[in-house]
C-alpha cells in the first residue's frame, strides 16, 4: 500500500532522504545546521536507518513536528525508538523523509522572490521582500520509526510478517508517544444517513472520550527504504506482493475496486483518516484484514469508514451521478473512485469528469474531507486498477 493509509494509523508515506549532520542543539533538533557554504544539513537521528538492517522491516509510527508539544518530531521518534530498544528484543531505526524536498521547495520560493524583486527594480519600484507572495507547497519532514530483528535480518516479507503478532503484543508506550482515539461501540457511533442528516446517538464529550492508541497495534511490514532495487525481477516480485496485499485488504468489501470490469476508473476523493473508533463488536473490519490477527478489540479506521460511506451515497439513485462507485483501501489511505473505462484517454472520461465536478452532496453530512468539503473540488484522476 505504497501510496496510501488506513486507520489513523497510517503509518503515513514511506519516502525519505537521510544524510549529513544535524545541529547539536538537542532542545530544538528540528532546526538544521548550516555549513560554511550555507547548505542546510539533514537531521542526524539517534538510530539511523541503514541498508544492513535487512531488506524487510516493520514500520511502527511516524511523527511530524507538532505545534502543541515542547518536543520536536525527531525527539518523539527517538523517544519511541528508545522505548523499543529498552523494552523489546528488536532494534529500532528512524527514517527521515522529505527533508531534501522541503529544502528544495524553500530554495525555489526564495529564488522566485528574488526574481520578482528584480522585475520590480527594472520597473523602477523598490520592492518589499516581506510583502512579495509566492505560492508554495507545504512539505512536512517526517520521522518514521521502524524495527527489525536484533540478530539476523529477515530474509523475506513472509519472515517479517511472522513476527507481527509479537510486535503487536508490545505494551503501550507513554501516552505522549501515542495517537488519541475515540473509545466506544460501533453501535453507538454516529449514524450517517446518505441523503438525510447525520444523527449522532451518543454525544462526543471531547478529551474525556480520547484514549491513547498503542502504535504497535498498527504496525505492518515494509521494504527497507534505504535498500535500492538493483534487480528488475526483484522489483517486479515486490510489486506483485504489494498488489496481493491490496487484494486481501479489499476482498469482500462492497465497493471493491478490483471488481471494476474495465482497466481504469477515476479517483475522486481520498481519506487519510483523522480519528479511530475502537470497538468490541465481533464483525471483521477493513482494519482487521490489513493487520491480520487483531487485538481483543478491533480497530475501525475513520478514513476507511468515510470512504465506504461516500461510495454508498454515490450509489444512491437519488444522487443521479450515473457512475459505479468503488473504494480502494490501502495501508496509507482509502480512495473513492467512480466509473469504468477502457483506458486513461477513454472518450467517456471527460464527460464523466464534468458530471463529477458538478455534483454537490449538499444535504449529506457524513463523508466530508478533513476540511469539511462535501463536493469534489479536486479534478478526478484516471487510475489503472493494480495488476492490470
Average pLDDT per consecutive 10 residues, the chain (388 residues; last block may be shorter): 37 36 36 45 89 93 87 95 97 95 92 90 80 86 96 88 92 92 50 37 55 90 84 78 90 96 94 49 49 40 84 90 94 89 93 87 45 61 94
Sheet with 90-97, edge to edge strand ranges:
90-97, 142-149, 56-63, 220-223
Is 239 a member of any domain? yes
Is 366 a member of any domain? yes
8 Å CB contact between 253 and 286: yes
The predicted pLDDT at position 378 comes to 72
The predicted pLDDT at position 234 comes to 74
8 Å CB contact between 84 and 90: yes
Is 256 a member of any domain? yes
Q: Could you give the number of structural domains in the chain?
A: 1
Q: Please calculate the CA angle 276-294-283 and round it to the nearest 5 degrees.
A: 75
Instruction: Give the model confidence (pLDDT) of 244-255 as tens digits.
Output: 989 998 999 999
8 Å CB contact between 350 and 358: no
What phi, psi does 292 have (nearest 5°)? 70, -135
The predicted pLDDT at position 294 comes to 44
For residue 191, which of 200, 182, 202 has the smallest C-alpha distance?
200
Is 123 a member of any domain? no
Is 151 a member of any domain? no
Is 263 a member of any domain? yes
* 79: its cell numbers: 523517544
- Give the span between the Cα atoms of 79 and 176, in whole angstroms: 10
The parent domain of residue 385 ranges over 231-388
The predicted pLDDT at position 370 comes to 42
The predicted pLDDT at position 173 comes to 96
Q: Please calculate the CA angle 58-63-64 and round it to the nearest 5 degrees.
A: 145
Is 217 a member of any domain? no
The predicted pLDDT at position 229 comes to 67
Instruction: Give the model confidence (pLDDT) of 53-69 as tens digits.
Output: 998 999 999 999 988 77
The predicted pLDDT at position 301 comes to 62
Is 279 a member of any domain? yes
Supply the pTM of this predicted model.
0.55
The predicted pLDDT at position 361 comes to 62
* 84: its cell numbers: 523499543
8 Å CB contact between 265 and 257: yes
In this structure, the number of other CB atoms found within 10 A of the CB of residue 51 comes to 12
In this structure, the number of other CB atoms found within 10 A of the CB of residue 147 comes to 26
Amino acid at each position: 500500500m505504497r501510496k496510501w493509509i488506513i486507520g489513523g494509523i497510517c503509518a503515513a508515506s514511506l519516502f525519505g532522504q537521510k544524510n549529513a549532520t544535524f545541529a547539536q542543539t538537542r532542545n530544538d533538533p528540528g532546526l538544521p545546521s548550516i555549513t560554511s557554504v550555507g547548505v542546510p544539513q539533514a537531521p542526524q537521528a539517534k538510530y539511523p536507518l541503514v541498508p544492513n538492517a535487512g531488506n524487510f522491516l516493520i514500520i511502527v509510527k511516524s511523527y511530524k513536528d507538532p505545534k502543541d508539544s515542547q518536543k520536536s518530531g525527531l525527539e518523539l521518534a527517538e523517544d519511541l525508538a528508545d522505548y523499543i530498544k529498552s523494552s523489546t528484543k528488536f532494534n529500532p531505526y528512524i527514517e527521515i523523509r522529505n527533508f531534501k524536498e522541503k529544502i528544495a521547495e524553500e530554495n525555489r520560493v526564495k529564488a522566485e522572490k528574488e526574481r520578482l524583486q528584480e522585475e520590480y527594480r527594472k520597473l523602477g519600484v523598490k520592492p518589499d521582500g516581506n510583502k512579495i507572495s509566492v505560492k508554495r507547497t507545504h512539505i512536512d519532514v517526517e520521522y518514521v520509526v521502524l524495527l527489525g530483528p536484533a540478530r539476523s535480518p529477515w530474509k523475506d516479507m513472509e519472515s517479517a510478517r511472522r513476527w507481527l503478532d509479537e510486535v503487536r503484543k508490545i505494551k503501550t508506550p507513554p501516552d505522549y508517544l501515542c495517537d488519541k482515539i475515540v473509545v466506544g461501540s460501533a453501535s453507538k457511533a454516529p449514524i450517517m444517513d446518505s441523503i438525510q442528516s447525520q444523527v449522532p446517538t451518543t454525544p462526543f464529550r471531547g478529551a474525556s472520550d480520547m484514549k491513547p492508541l498503542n502504535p504497535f497495534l498498527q504496525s505492518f511490514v515494509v521494504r527497507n527504504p534505504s535498500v535500492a532495487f538493483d534487480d528488475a525481477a526483484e522489483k517486479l516480485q515486490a510489486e506483485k506482493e504489494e498488489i496481493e496485499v491490496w487484494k486481501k485488504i479489499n476482498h469482500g468489501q462492497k465497493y471493491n475496486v478490483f471488481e471494476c470490469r474495465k482497466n481504469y476508473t477515476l479517483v475522486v476523493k481520498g481519506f487519510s483518516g483523522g480519528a479511530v473508533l475502537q470497538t468490541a463488536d465481533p464483525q471483521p473490519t477493513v482494519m482487521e484484514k490489513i493487520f491480520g490477527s487483531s487485538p481483543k478489540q478491533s480497530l475501525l479506521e475513520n478514513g476507511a469508514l468515510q470512504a465506504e460511506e461516500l461510495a454508498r451515497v454515490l450509489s444512491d439513485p437519488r444522487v443521479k451521478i450515473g457512475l459505479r462507485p468503488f473504494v480502494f483501501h490501502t495501508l496509507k489511505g482509502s480512495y473513492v473512485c467512480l466509473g469504468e473505462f477502457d483506458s486513461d484517454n477513454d472518450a467517456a472520461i471527460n464527460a464523466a469528469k464534468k458530471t463529477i465536478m458538478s455534483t454537490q452532496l449538499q444535504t449529506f453530512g457524513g463523508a466530508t474531507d478533513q476540511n469539511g468539503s462535501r463536493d469534489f473540488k479536486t479534478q478526478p484522476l484516471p487510475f489503472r486498477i493494480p495488476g492490470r
